[in-house]
Structure 1
Amino acid sequence: MTQPEASAPSVAYAHPAVAVVSPHFCSPYPMDIAIVRKLLTITHGSFVVTDVNGNIILKVKGDHLLDTAGYPILTLRQKLMSAHERWQVFRGKSTKSRDLIFSTKRSSMVQFYTKLDVFLAHNTTEKVPDFKVKGSWSEKSCVIYAGDYSTIVAQMHKKRTVKSELLGKDHFMVTVNPGIDYAFIVALIVILDEINTASTPTVPT
């Protein structure tokens, strides 16, 4: 009797709700969003986040992630004098330690692909990251994982169009898996963009 061929190992997709910022930003269904950078504005870190129909659902101005009414949801701050380019993300307009939600840092000093470790505020020992981000900025893509590299929570790729080039905009298309906090995902991608925009090209170890 012929034995069935073994199937290739597959990557799991997270389904239980992961509300890092708020359950308000978790959808029970896969969610496609666009993070649009306005290249021709003078405001540092200026983005809008839209759904598939083009409706604005979030905004980024400077170091703040805002809701559609302009209310600050998160404050993103780079920690100065940090060897691993650590960023900290706080609730609302606060930068106090009690309002810290999560932090990120490069997995290593020298990287060919950008890899970030993400630690939730309660993970004070930081022995094991709660999330990982792996991106190739030359290809403008990244994958965000929960825990180890076996559970995908979101994936991003860059979309260029003639219209976007004329308007001076970059479109980062993101698929957020069911139950995943899309405000958290947007914050991670904005941090990744800031790190790669500010960094000089790195070489493999």
Structure 2
Amino acid sequence: MRRLSIHRWTMGAHTLLTPVVSKIFCSSLQAALLVRRRPPAVTGGGFVVTDREQRVVFSVDGCGIIGAAGQLVVRDADGTAILFIHKKGGVVQALSVHNRWRGYLMDYGEPSKPVFSLQDPKPVLSCAAGDVRVTVEPKAGRKRHWDYEVTGSFAHRACAVKSRGGHVVAQIGVKGMMAGRDFYHVVVQPGYDQAFVIGVIAILDNMNGESTRC
């Protein structure tokens, strides 16, 4: 297999996108996921992600569980921490027109190498095109400054994660009688890293003052 500059692996007649977190979270089929928010007063907040068979595939812990504002942990189906996400601080951050977040792989329970960074405007009014952008790390040697963007409104559950080329990576929406702020659907297109998508959604949740935020 040969790694291409457009972040893809090519194998025979099939093209697989390079994962951000891990290839084990990529599927050749479209993934239809359901996000269910956890009550802060009972379980500390955050949310749980299930598949079509109602099996838990991811969960996200926020301030209510971790006990620290601006920090998030994404766990896999076994409850193992796979991503640590934090909002950057400091004087430079305070003076910036954007909030900046960074996601790290977890290694033996500790954050290791960074795998993506996200920036959003201050204050958050919407997720309009170009407002929220994500960069895959490391970015050394690449001229472009971002790889993905969020379009639409997460607050209204009408949102999409798109690649720089305009391809839809994942769509966030509501449908059915139970749908709403506490239950919503995420459809991840084939080949894309589902753990990465959930990590982005976790940040959007926190940005909008929802279940992961104290």
**1:42/1:104 Cα in 2 relative to 1: closer, same or farther (>3 Å)?**
farther
Aligned equivalent of 1:183: 195
Q: Does 2:49 match 1:49?
A: yes
TM-score (normalizing by structure 1): 0.75
**1:49/1:90 Cα in 2 relative to 1: closer, same or farther (>3 Å)?**
same
Bigger relative contact order (CA 8 A; separation at least 6): 1
Structure 2 gap ranges (5+): 1-14, 63-71
Aligned equivalent of 2:105: 91
**1:138/1:76 Cα in 2 relative to 1: closer, same or farther (>3 Å)?**
closer
Rg: which structure is higher? 1
- List structure 1 segments (4+ residues) > 6 angstroms apart after TM superposition: none
Aligned equivalent of 2:150: 133
Aligned equivalent of 2:159: 142
Asked if 2 retains the 8 angstrom alpha-carbon contact of 1:21 and 1:181, the reply is: yes
Asked if 1 retains the 8 angstrom alpha-carbon contact of 2:124 and 2:207, the reply is: no
Q: Distance in 2 between matches of 1:44 and 1:104?
A: 25
Aligned equivalent of 1:75: 84
**Correspondence list, 1:12-51, <5 A:** 16-51=16-51
Q: Does 2:171 match 1:155?
A: yes
Deviation at 1:47, TM superposition (A): 1.0
Structure 1 gap ranges (5+): 1-14, 199-205
Question: What amino acid is the match of 1:153?
Answer: V
Percent identical among aligned pairs is 28
Aligned equivalent of 1:64: 73
Q: Secondary structure at the match of 2:135?
A: strand
Question: What amino acid is the match of 1:32?
Answer: A
**1:86/1:158 Cα in 2 relative to 1: closer, same or farther (>3 Å)?**
farther
Deviation at 1:133, TM superposition (A): 1.1
**1:44/1:79 Cα in 2 relative to 1: closer, same or farther (>3 Å)?**
farther
Q: Distance in 2 between matches of 1:138 and 1:26?
A: 26
Deviation at 1:172, TM superposition (A): 2.4
Asked if 2 retains the 8 angstrom alpha-carbon contact of 1:25 and 1:182, the reply is: yes
Q: Distance in 2 between matches of 1:117 and 1:68?
A: 27
RMSD over aligned CA atoms reads 2.5
Q: Distance in 2 between matches of 1:126 and 1:66?
A: 32
Asked if 1 retains the 8 angstrom alpha-carbon contact of 2:135 and 2:148, the reply is: yes
